[in-house]
């Protein structure tokens, strides 16, 4: 089959300039390729958040956008949503999905950022790879209309994969985009997308992402606990939610225990100066971090939890070293390893 090379068939001046939301996945790639085929310049935006949407993260809602961009010759800009995304996770206007996911607010935020960027670079419209009816929460027609309106993009948001099932947009009406060359895909089947991928020679695209960490039950439980007990949440607090086992010792203290060497290294990387660090030296031991207010009782409970995960967990006591915050001081606690049945009451899972 002849592969269509979208950007190589028409050397003339681009007809228009679009800003595309690009996760690196199949649908958003196809949306871009359908426009490049019409000689429309595309600048792609790939969003990152503190909740698993980054390029290296295997749990990510996105994936590396660069191979496709390089192959087909369009620009990619990475944009981290940072504090803005944390704010909508704390207070979503449109509620949550099954877990802590805030998909409607998230789409509105990403589209609003894309609109601002479009205005800044004088582009003509915004493009997404959304398909009607593909995802129950975010891609039914009403939701598509709502997100478009809330993002201030009415008439200027083109979804090339479902375009023929939607009202014509301004770029179509203005003749910048030929509607006839767009698609009428709906539902969960990916048959047509796979046909298009073959036509375009698009290979090695990732399987559809299930979403960010906010769709994960365990992560959501840890996040809910953090938000309920912490007034001011730091990025390190959020990063630590992805690491180790978490135990709520009391309303103002929790301990995080590494499960493997990678966790231990990350716990050290995310440790803040006011955190107590715990480790049983000279035996097989995870790293632990006590977060929150530390007194004798919480330190001794934290040491008992850590002792349970050392190689000496069957000994009557384990010597746990506590590295104190904001100083080089350390002291030891002889801690009996916590019993599994007791841990069941405090583990956040």
Residues forming the site for ligand SF4 (CB under 6 A): 53, 61, 101-103, 106-107, 138, 211-212, 214-215
The structure tokens 């996911």 sit at 101
Q: Which two tokens stand for residue 324?
A: 């104190």
Distance in Å, CB of 62 to ligand SF4, minimum = 8
Min dist. Cβ of residue 137 to ligand SF4 (A): 8
Please state the closest distance from residue 175 (CB atom) to ligand SF4, in A: 32
Q: What number of residues does the chain have?
A: 349
Q: Quick one: 92 or 292, whose CB is closer to ligand SF4?
A: 92
Among candidate residues 153, 120, 129, 159, the one with its CA nearest the CA of residue 46: 129
Straight-line distance from the first to the last Cα atom of the chain, in angstroms, rounded to the nearest whole number: 51
Of residues 162 and 298, the one with the C-beta less far from ligand SF4: 162
320: exposed, middle or buried (Cβ count in 10 Å: 0-12, 13-18, 19+): buried
Provide, rounded to whole angstroms, the least separation between the CB of residue 98 and ligand SF4: 10
Q: Report the alpha-carbon distance of residue 16 to residue 56 in Å, rounded.
A: 32
**Of 143 and 301, which has the nearer Cβ to ligand SF4?**
143
* DSSP letter assigned to residue 94: T
Angle between helix 26-36 and helix 191-200 axes, rounded to 10 deg: 50
Of 95 and 175, the one with the shorter C-beta distance to ligand SF4 is 95
> 107 in the Ramachandran plot: left (φ > 0), alpha (ψ -120 to 50) or beta?
alpha
Closer CB to ligand SF4, residue 110 or residue 256?
110
Whether the CB-CB separation of 57 and 74 falls below 8 Å is answered with no
Q: Name the residue nearer to ligand SF4 (CB basis): 138 or 169.
A: 138
CB 308 within 8 A of CB 335: no
Shortest separation between residue 103's beta carbon and ligand SF4, angstroms: 3
CA-to-CA distance for 342 and 336, rounded, in angstroms?
12
| Element containing residue 148 per DSSP (H, E) | helix 141-150
In angstroms, give the least distance from the CB of 240 to ligand SF4: 19
- Distance of alpha carbon 322 from alpha carbon 278, whole angstroms: 5
Name which of 61 and 333 has its Cβ closer to ligand SF4. 61
Q: Quick one: 214 or 318, whose CB is closer to ligand SF4?
A: 214
Q: How far is the CB of 223 from ligand SF4 (least distance, A)?
A: 12
Residue 132 beta carbon to ligand SF4: minimum distance, rounded to whole angstroms: 16
For ligand SF4, give the closer residue by CB, 103 or 126.
103
CA 120 to chain centre: 25
| Residues 6+ away with beta carbon under 8 Å from 62 | 23, 24, 25, 46, 47, 48, 53, 54, 55, 209
Report the half-sphere exposure of 292 (CA within 13 A, side-chain side). 21
Work out how close the CB of 237 gets to ligand SF4 at its nearest, in angstroms, rounded to a whole number.
19
């Amino acid at each position: 089959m002849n592969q269509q090379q979208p950007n190589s068939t028409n050397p003339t001046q681009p007809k228009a300039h679009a800003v595309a939301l690009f996760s690196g996945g199949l649908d958003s790639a196809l949306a871009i390729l359908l426009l490049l085929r019409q000689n429309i310049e595309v600048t792609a935006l790939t969003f990152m958040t503190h909740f698993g949407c980054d390029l290296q993260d295997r749990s990510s809602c996105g994936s590396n956008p660069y191979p496709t961009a390089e192959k087909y010759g369009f620009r990619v800009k990475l944009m981290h949503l940072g504090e803005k995304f944390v704010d909508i996770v704390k207070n979503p206007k449109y509620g949550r999905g099954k877990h802590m996911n805030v998909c409607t607010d998230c789409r509105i935020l990403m589209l609003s950022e894309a609109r601002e960027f479009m205005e800044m670079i004088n582009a003509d419209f915004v493009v997404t790879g959304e398909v009607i009816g593909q995802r129950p929460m975010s891609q039914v027609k009403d939701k598509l209309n709502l997100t478009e309106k809330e993002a201030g993009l009415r008439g200027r948001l083109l979804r090339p994969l479902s375009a023929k099932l939607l009202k014509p947009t301004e770029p179509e009406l203005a003749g910048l985009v030929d509607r006839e060359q767009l698609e009428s895909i709906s539902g969960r089947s990916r048959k047509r997308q796979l046909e298009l991928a073959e036509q375009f020679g698009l290979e090695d695209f990732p399987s559809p992402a299930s979403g960010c960490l906010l769709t994960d039950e365990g992560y959501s439980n840890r996040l809910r606990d953090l938000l309920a007990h912490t007034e001011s949440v730091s990025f390190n607090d959020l990063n630590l939610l992805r690491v180790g086992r978490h135990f709520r010792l009391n309303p103002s203290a929790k301990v995080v225990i590494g499960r493997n060497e990678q966790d231990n290294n990350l716990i050290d990387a995310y440790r803040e100066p006011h955190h107590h660090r715990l480790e049983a030296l000279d035996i097989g031991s995870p790293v632990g971090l006590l977060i929150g207010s530390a007194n004798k009782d919480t330190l001794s409970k934290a040491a008992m939890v850590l002792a349970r995960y050392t190689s000496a967990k069957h000994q009557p006591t384990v010597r746990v070293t506590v590295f104190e915050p904001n100083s080089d001081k350390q002291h030891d606690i002889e801690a009996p390893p916590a019993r599994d049945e007791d841990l069941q009451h405090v583990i956040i899972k």
